[in-house]
Structure 1
Amino acid sequence: MTKAKLVFDPFSQDFFNGAYETYRRMRDEAPVYYNEEHDFYALTRHEDVAPGFKDFETYSSRYGVDLASIRNGLPTEAGPRMIIFMDPPEHRNMRSLLNKVFTPRAIQAQRQNVIDKVEKYISRLDPNGFDAVQEFTAPFPVEVITTMLGVPEEHAQQVRYWIDESLTREVGQVEIGEKAMQANVEQAMFYYELVAKRRAEPGNDLFTKLVEAELERENGEKDKLDDIEIAAFAALLGGAGAETVTKLLGNAVYVFGKNPDQWQRLQEDRSKIPAAVEELLRYEAPSQYQVRRAMKDVHLHGTTIPEGSPVFLIGGSANRDERAWTDPDTFDIDRDRTEAQNLGLGYGIHSCLGAALARLESSIALERLLDFMPRFEVDFGSCTRVQMQNVVGWKNVPVKVLK
């Protein structure tokens, strides 16, 4: 029997549905994979992806972090200073500024905010039937991050709409669409106006802290972010803060529905919740890949990646690599997490800035879900996936609580 041609297409139904079988074949048959149609390379083995995330001199973020930007040669320097489009030393200075805003104390100070938002939405759920994503895991995380930023509560769900629209892709769609572009413009204008208000009327929120923060340059001089840069950062932070937890917890309900023994184990020992969050991040990371530009010819596994090529670093595959993990396709909250580096929230200089917040939100939400639905069933036949750039997760997960 002839084996089907190996094709990894990040704009295909295969990717949107979780391309784990494709990843396995790539790791085995083409650890340096080349896509002729879209002219990009992809790394899938843990031994290549993890170092790749840290090697900014070889795999640069300065030319964009998606295929369209790198392929089109868009000059990111022309826009506002965005941390995801930076390599050191510029990245180091920006990260240092933002670390002052995202201190461990600042994250822990959000605990009650998270509890309030979780309770607000879980109290509305009908145990006889509800959509875990649309009614719970989607609406509460965006309210957490927008509250931190200083966005009025009544605008939070509008922000979620803009985020979802900006990431949505049709099958085969590489470039950003008209609706997504419009959503980005409206979101940017919204944040820009809020930043201007905060300059005039400071508050106790992230907008105010970013307005007041000073950025130190390599020559020792200091300057501040302008309104456009703060608005751009708010859009980035809002998107990551909303999408990561939404997808992670939607995946949680689905995966625990498939593995009720694991849910029971968690029910019996709540101290395993942090480990369960880490296993969820490993098993199906919300962000599956990051795209970089090769800054020199890269010789790997008998293949040469030419300088200037877009390179997909597929963390979602590395986290399922049997060379790094024991039984990687098995969901196990008691897994030995010292076996390999979990890439679920990135790694290296571009690791998720809000990782501590994502873990806090996920842990609190799981704790409350364990109370609300000690036993539950998922209508798997009615579950639907999102179709988004680099994001994998569920749009609908219908659930019924069992007596």
Structure 2
Amino acid sequence: MTQAELVFDPFSQEYFNNPFDIYERMRAEAPLYYDTGEDFYALSRHEDVAAALKDHESFSSTRGCDLAMVKADEPPQKSIIFMDPPEHRHMRSLLNKAFTPRAVQSQRDVVIELADKYLAGADPENFDVVQDFSGPFPVEVITRMAGVPEEYRQQVRHWIDTSLSREPGQMGTSEAGMQANIETAMYYYGLVQERRENPQDDMISRLIAAEIPDDDGHMRRLDDIEICGFATLLGGAGAETVTKLMGTAAVNFARFPDQWRKLLDDRSKIPAAVEELLRYEGPVQYNVRYTLKDTEVPSGKIPAGKPVFLLLASANRDSAAFTDADAFDIDRDRTEAQNLGLGYGIHSCLGAALARMESALALEKLLDFMPRYEVQWDGLRRVQMQNVAGYSHVPVKVLR
């Protein structure tokens, strides 16, 4: 039987349902994939993706991080993820102050308090890991750090989910998604004005007071658009990463119960389990870059002026980089290759330490709440989103 032609369509139902079969074929048959219809390239092997993530002089972020953005005539909203050096370096050094080890550690009690709050109200007989737990609590942590009042914190999550959602075949943002983006921007703009009038002990107030060098080396303040862009990004990353990771955690530990038993027997393995979850089925599927010049990766040459998908999730399943790459093993050797689950290079996830801490604490709480559980497989619902993978619904029954 002849195999179907290899087509990588990141907007198809097949891709939303299971991208890993497509990735496997791409790594084997077309590691430097080219789509003639949409005129983009895609890299799927670990060595290619890691090389491109490190080469910001060839692979630019300034046009956006998904295909619709990169192909658009207008540049995206100002945000650190859409910057190249030196602008990126100045902004990153400023924002890093919000995520120092001390700053992250100071959030530990907040994370525990919020996780306990949502699990205390959950019904073990009718529990949805995402809807009742991993959806609501991470966004509370990050928006509280930013300075969003309590009554708007969950609204931020719903705006983000709407803006990232895609119907099969839909490359760009939907009308509902555009409206969500407008409402998010308007909300943060109003909050920035409030903080300019009345500064608080929060991230938005600190960004208002901060200074960075301009193109001529003179110090300047951030404008409202820059601050709103960062607040939006922060809310999005904070709401999506841990939310999706804990949903897939419940699914994969149900599929591989021996790995869950390892955690029940030895809680010290939790940090390693978080790393394996990020590698095996992390929340970020890809980033799109734009080639500024003719460039070369180990699998071949890419001309200037092209969108390029860097398939992080595929790279993390590359058997050339990881032994038994398709096995879910929390005890695997972490030194074999770079885990790309939270990015790599200058655009590696700014809040990675916070995401790891939240995920580890969330896993600990789930081990207590549902040491034995069954996923209700017929109620499982995958998200259909721009470059984000995971589940919107993971119903489980806690076994006594």
TM category, shorter: over 0.9
The secondary structure found in structure 1 opposite 2:18 is coil
**Conserved 8 A contact 1:32-1:301:** no
- Counterpart check, 1:318 vs 2:329: no
Partner letter of residue 16 of structure 1? F
Which residue of structure 2 lines up, in the alignment, with residue 67 of structure 1?
67
Which residue of structure 1 lines up, in the alignment, with residue 271 of structure 2?
274
- Counterpart check, 1:194 vs 2:161: no
Partner letter of residue 95 of structure 1? R
Partner letter of residue 106 of structure 2? A
The secondary structure found in structure 1 opposite 2:392 is strand
CA distance in 2, matches of 1:300, 1:62: 20
The secondary structure found in structure 2 opposite 1:371 is helix
TM-score (norm 2): 0.98
- Counterpart check, 1:397 vs 2:371: no
Which residue of structure 1 lines up, in the alignment, with residue 143 of structure 2?
146
**Conserved 8 A contact 1:18-1:392:** no
Deviation at 1:273, TM superposition (A): 0.5
CA distance in 2, matches of 1:339, 1:24: 19
Partner letter of residue 122 of structure 2? L
CA distance in 1, matches of 2:174, 2:123: 36
Partner letter of residue 395 of structure 1? S
Q: In the TM superposition, what whole-angstrom CA distance separates every residue of 1:183-236 from its partner, at most 9, and x where no partner exists?
A: 000011101111111111111111111111111235431111112211111001
**Conserved 8 A contact 2:188-2:228:** yes
Which residue of structure 2 lines up, in the alignment, with residue 347 of structure 1?
344
**Conserved 8 A contact 1:23-1:44:** yes
CA distance in 2, matches of 1:188, 1:258: 40
Deviation at 1:302, TM superposition (A): 6.8
- Counterpart check, 1:91 vs 2:88: yes
Partner letter of residue 296 of structure 1? K
**Conserved 8 A contact 2:146-2:204:** yes
Deviation at 1:179, TM superposition (A): 0.5
Question: Which ranges in structure 1 are unaligned for 5 or more consecutive residues?
Answer: none
- Counterpart check, 1:42 vs 2:72: no
Partner letter of residue 364 of structure 1? L
Query: How many residue pairs end up in the alignment?
Result: 400
The secondary structure found in structure 2 opposite 1:322 is coil
Deviation at 1:300, TM superposition (A): 4.8
Deviation at 1:85, TM superposition (A): 1.1
**Conserved 8 A contact 2:51-2:297:** no
The secondary structure found in structure 1 opposite 2:386 is coil
Partner letter of residue 334 of structure 1? D
1:122 maps to which of 112, 116, 119: 119
Which residue of structure 2 lines up, in the alignment, with residue 110 of structure 1?
107
Deviation at 1:63, TM superposition (A): 1.6
The 5-angstrom pairing of residues 246-395 of structure 1 reads 246-300=243-297, 303-395=300-392
Partner letter of residue 123 of structure 1? A
Which residue of structure 2 lines up, in the alignment, with residue 14 of structure 1?
14
Question: Which ranges in structure 2 are unaligned for 5 or more consecutive residues?
Answer: none
Deviation at 1:342, TM superposition (A): 0.1
Give the RMSD, CA atoms, in angstroms: 1.2
The secondary structure found in structure 2 opposite 1:65 is coil
CA distance in 2, matches of 1:15, 1:143: 31
Q: In the TM superposition, what whole-angstrom CA distance separates every residue of 1:134-173 from its partner, at most 9, and x where no partner exists?
A: 1111011111111111111111111111000000000000
Which residue of structure 2 lines up, in the alignment, with residue 5 of structure 1?
5
The secondary structure found in structure 1 opposite 2:331 is coil
Q: In the TM superposition, what whole-angstrom CA distance separates every residue of 1:278-315 from its partner, at most 9, and x where no partner exists?
A: 00000011011000001122345675422111000000
Q: In the TM superposition, what whole-angstrom CA distance separates every residue of 1:219-266 from its partner, at most 9, and x where no partner exists?
A: 431111112211111001100111011001111111111111111100
TM-score (norm 1): 0.97
The secondary structure found in structure 2 opposite 1:399 is strand
The secondary structure found in structure 2 opposite 1:33 is strand
**Conserved 8 A contact 1:296-1:308:** yes
Percent of counterpart pairs with the same letter? 63
**Conserved 8 A contact 2:48-2:298:** no
The 5-angstrom pairing of residues 151-162 of structure 1 reads 151-162=148-159
CA distance in 1, matches of 2:79, 2:296: 30
Which residue of structure 2 lines up, in the alignment, with residue 164 of structure 1?
161
The secondary structure found in structure 2 opposite 1:223 is strand
Partner letter of residue 91 of structure 2? M
CA distance in 1, matches of 2:137, 2:111: 8
CA distance in 2, matches of 1:245, 1:18: 20
Partner letter of residue 264 of structure 2? Q
The 5-angstrom pairing of residues 218-257 of structure 1 reads 219-257=216-254
Moved more, 61-70 or 155-164: 61-70
CA distance in 1, matches of 2:209, 2:231: 15
1:206 maps to which of 203, 208, 215: 203
1:185 maps to which of 164, 171, 182: 182
Which residue of structure 2 lines up, in the alignment, with residue 52 of structure 1?
52
The secondary structure found in structure 2 opposite 1:161 is helix
After superposition, the Cα gap between the structure-2 partners of 1:302 and 1:119, relative to the gap in structure 1 and judged at 3 Å, is closer
The secondary structure found in structure 2 opposite 1:317 is helix
**Conserved 8 A contact 1:191-1:234:** yes
Deviation at 1:177, TM superposition (A): 1.2
Partner letter of residue 41 of structure 2? Y
CA distance in 1, matches of 2:4, 2:298: 22
**Conserved 8 A contact 1:248-1:393:** yes
Q: Which runs of 4+ in 1 moved over 4 A?
A: 299-303
